[in-house]
Amino acid sequence: MRTKVGIIGSGPAGLMLSHLLHLQGIESIVLENRSRKEIEETIRAGVLEQGTVDLLKETGVADRLLKEGFLHHGIELQFRGRRHRINMNELTGGKSITVYAQHEVIKDLVATRLQDGGQILFDVRDVRLLDIETSSPKIRFQKDGVEEEIECDFIAGCGGYHGPSRKAIPEQVRKEFKHTYPFSWLGILAEALPSNPELIYSNHETGFALISTRSSDIQRYYLQVEPTDIIENWSEDRIWTELHRRVDLNDWKLNDGPIIQKNIVPMRSFICETMQYGRLYLAGDAAHIVPPTGAKGLNLAVADVQVLSKALTNFYHEQETELLTQYSKICTRHVWKAQRFSAWMTRMLHRNFDHSPFEYGLQLAELDLVTSSASAAKSLAEQYVGLPLEY
C-alpha cells in the first residue's frame, strides 16, 4: 500500500488530521488498533474550546454538535461553601465553550471520513515505524493475521500517550518533561437529570469535585481521589456521599441516580518537545498530556493537527517547508501555556493533604482573587475558552 500521510491512531488527533488533509485533497490512511465500536464508546473528555468548535463547524463536522452539545457561557467555582460565577462570555468578548462528549466527536469524524471515502483500518496489530529518517518512511502492521506495509511521504504519530510513535524517536534525541500530581480523578456517568446549567468546579476541604453533563438524562461527575486508590474501593453509596459532601449547598442538592460507568484516571503533565523527527510528526497525547482540570487535552490535539495539516498543505501545494520546520516550536509554545493553565487550575482546586494550613490559606486566597478581581477572572476565562494558536 502507498499513501501520502500514514496516520497512527484514530483519536481526535488522527481523525481530525485525516479529515483536514482530505479537504485539501491530500490522501491519508488511518491505522487503529482498537475496533470502531470501542473507540466510539470510550468515555473521556467533554469540553470543547471555542476554537475547536469553530474548526469543526468550518469543516462541516458540527451538525450533531450544534444540535446536541451544550453551549456554556460561564463556569462556577465553589469554595468555603459558596458559588461564584465566572462569566466567560462577557470576559472574553463573546467566546464560550461547548460540552459535547469526545466519543461523539469521534463518531462524527469516523462517519464523515468513511462517507468521504477515507480509509480507516481498525483492529490492526503490532504497528511499527520504519525508515522515519528517510523521505519514504513506512508503517508495518498486521491486519487479520497478515503482515502489511504502507509506504508514505510522512507519518503522523497520533496514537496517544501509549502509542508506538514517540518511542520510534531515539531516546537521546527526545527532549521530555514530566510531572505527576498527588491526585487521581474518579469519573462517573450517572442516569440523572442535569444538576446545574453550568459546570461546577468545587474546592472542598475533603477534596475536589467537578459537576459536568452529557445529556438531559446522563450526567458526568468527577471526584478527587488518592493516586493509589482503586475503583473497587468506591461503592455507589460512597461515591454519592462524597459528591454530595463536596458540592451540596444549603439550598442546592446534586441530582443523583444509577451509576452506569465509573473509572479512575491518574493525573500527570508530560511534554515531548521533540514533536518532529525526520518524516515523523507527533500530535496530541502522543506528544503531551495535561491534567484534566483545565479541560485542554482534546483541544490541544486538535490545535496540533490544525498546524500540521496547514504545514503539509503548504508542502504539497506550494513546495514550502517552512511551517513543517517550525511545527514543534509552534505547537510546544501553545502546549506549555496550556500546561501552565492546567497545573494552575489543578493546584488551585484540589485539596493537597500534605499542605500546611498556611498553604491551604494561600490556595483559598487564590480562589478569592479570581472570583473577586475582574482582571484575574478575565485571565482564567481567556485561557479556559482557549488561547489563540499563534503562528
Q: Which residues form the catalytic set? A: 72, 201, 292, 296, 384
Told to check if 293 binds ligand DHB by CB under 6 A, we report yes
CB of 99 to ligand DHB, least distance (A): 6
Told to check if 34 binds ligand FAD by CB under 6 A, we report yes
160: left (phi over 0), alpha (psi -120 to 50) or beta: left
Chain-centroid distance of CA 96 in Å reads 17
Told to check if 62 binds ligand FAD by CB under 6 A, we report no
Told to check if 298 binds ligand FAD by CB under 6 A, we report yes
Told to check if 139 binds ligand DHB by CB under 6 A, we report no
Q: Which of 10, 224, 328, 339 touches ligand FAD (CB under 6 A)?
A: 10
Neighbours of 289 (CB within 10 A): 24
Contact 72, 95 (CB under 8 A): no
Q: Which span sits near ligand DHB by CB under 6 A: 43-51, 319-327, 328-336, 354-362? A: 43-51
Toward ligand DHB, which CB reaches closer, 222 or 281? 222
Task: Write down the number of H helices and E strands in the chain.
Answer: 11, 20
Told to check if 334 binds ligand FAD by CB under 6 A, we report no
Toward ligand FAD, which CB reaches closer, 30 or 91? 30
Beta strands 75-79; 200-204: pairing state: parallel
CB of 256 to ligand DHB, least distance (A): 17
CB of 288 to ligand FAD, least distance (A): 8
Q: Residue 250 burial by CB count (10 A; 0-12/13-18/19+): exposed, middle or buried?
A: exposed
CB of 318 to ligand FAD, least distance (A): 27
| Farthest CA pair distance, the chain | 65
Toward ligand FAD, which CB reaches closer, 126 or 205? 126
Q: Which of 6, 11, 46, 163 touches ligand DHB (CB under 6 A)?
A: 46
Residue 137 binds which one of ligand FAD, ligand DHB, none, with CB within 5 to 8 A depending on kind?
none
CB of 356 to ligand FAD, least distance (A): 30
Contact 289, 268 (CB under 8 A): yes
Tell me 234's DSSP state: -
Sequence-separated (6 or more) residues with CB below 8 Å from residue 330: 307, 323, 389, 390, 391
Told to check if 276 binds ligand DHB by CB under 6 A, we report no
| Residue of 294, 255, 283, 298 whose CA lies nearest to 100 | 298
Amino acid, single-letter form, for residue 135: S
Give the count of residues interacting with ligand DHB (CB under 6 A).
11
Told to check if 265 binds ligand FAD by CB under 6 A, we report yes
Sequence-separated (6 or more) residues with CB below 8 Å from residue 138: 6, 129, 130, 131, 149, 150, 151, 152
Told to check if 74 binds ligand DHB by CB under 6 A, we report no
C-alpha cell at 343: 497545573
CB of 302 to ligand FAD, least distance (A): 8
Q: Which span sits near ligand FAD by CB under 6 A: 202-210, 284-292, 345-353, 380-388? A: 284-292
Q: Among the residues of the chain, which ranges form H helices?
A: 12-23, 36-41, 50-58, 63-68, 88-91, 102-115, 236-247, 297-318, 322-349, 357-372, 374-385
Write out the residues near ligand FAD by the rule CB under 6 A: 8-14, 31-34, 39, 44-47, 102, 124, 127, 158-160, 162-164, 185, 187, 265, 284-286, 292, 295-299, 301
Write out the residues near ligand DHB by the rule CB under 6 A: 45-47, 99, 199, 210, 212, 220, 292-293, 295
